[in-house]
Amino acid sequence: MNPVNYLYLAALLFTIGATGVLIRRNAIVVFMCVELMLNACNLAFVAFSRMHGNLDGQIIAFFTMVVAAAEVVVGLAIIVSLFRSRHSASVDDASLMKL
């Protein structure tokens, strides 16, 4: 199968993720869309790795996963504390850097 198709898929996933980030208000959904974008990138890396025949892309994909995992930990913590203080998970409600 032509590896370029994977790239198209990656672009599609990225676009979906980006649109989600832009149009959704719920912090959890936004967060999941960010994850989607990260994974789209991962897919692209792996596809490129295959196309160019070296392993750099795959190594980077692992890095991304680790970073994404760390991000989940921190991000979720922030969302939870935001929800506690404001009783809402809407990103638009958190427009000020104070309560």
Partner 1 sequence: MENLIALLIAAPLLGAAVLLCGGRRLDAVGHWIGTALAGASFVFGAVLFVDLLGKDAEHRTLTQHLFSWIPVEGFQADIAFHLDQLSMTFVLLITGVGSLIHLYSIGYMEHDERRRRFFGYLNLFLAAMLLLVLADNYLLLYVGWEGVGLASYLLIGFWQHKPSAATAAKKAFLVNRVGDMGLSIAIMLMFTTFGTFAFTPVLGTHEAEGLVGGTSEATLTGIALMLLLAACGKSAQVPLQSWLGDAMEGPTPVSALIHAATMVTAGVYLIVRSGAIFNAAPDAQLVVTIVGAVTLLFGAIVGCAKDDIKKALAGSTMSQIGYMVLAAGLGPIGYVFAIMHLVTHGFFKAGLFLGAGSVMHGMNDEVDMRKYGGLRKYMPVTFVTFGLGYLAIIGFPGLSGFFSKDKIIEAAFAKGGTEGWILGGCALLGAAITAYYMTRVMLMTFFGEKRWQPDENGHEPHPHESPKSMTIPMIVLAFGSVFAGGVFGVGDRFLHWLEPITGHDHGHPPISATTVTAATVAVMVIGVTAAYLQYGRRPVPVVAPRGSLLTRAARRDLLQDDFNHVVLVRGGEHLTRSLVYVDHTLVDGVVNGTAASVGGLSGRMRRLQNGFARSYAVSMFGGAAVLVAATLLMRAV
Decide whether 9 or 94 has the Cβ nearer to partner 1: 94
Q: Which listed residue (22, 69, 73, 99) binds partner 1 by CB under 8 A?
A: 22
How far apart are CB 37 and partner 1 at their closest, in Å? Answer: 10
HEC secondary structure over the chain: CCCHHHHHHHHHHHHHHHHHHHHCCEHHHHHHHHHHHHHHHHHHHHHHHHHHCCCHHHHHHHHHHHHHHHHHHHHHHHHHHHHHHHCCCEHHHCCCCCC
- Using the contact rule CB under 8 A, the part of the chain among 4-12, 19-27, 47-55, 63-71 near partner 1 is 19-27
94 lies in the binding site for partner 1 (CB under 8 A): yes
The residues binding partner 1 (CB under 8 A) are: 18, 21-23, 25, 30, 91-92, 94-97
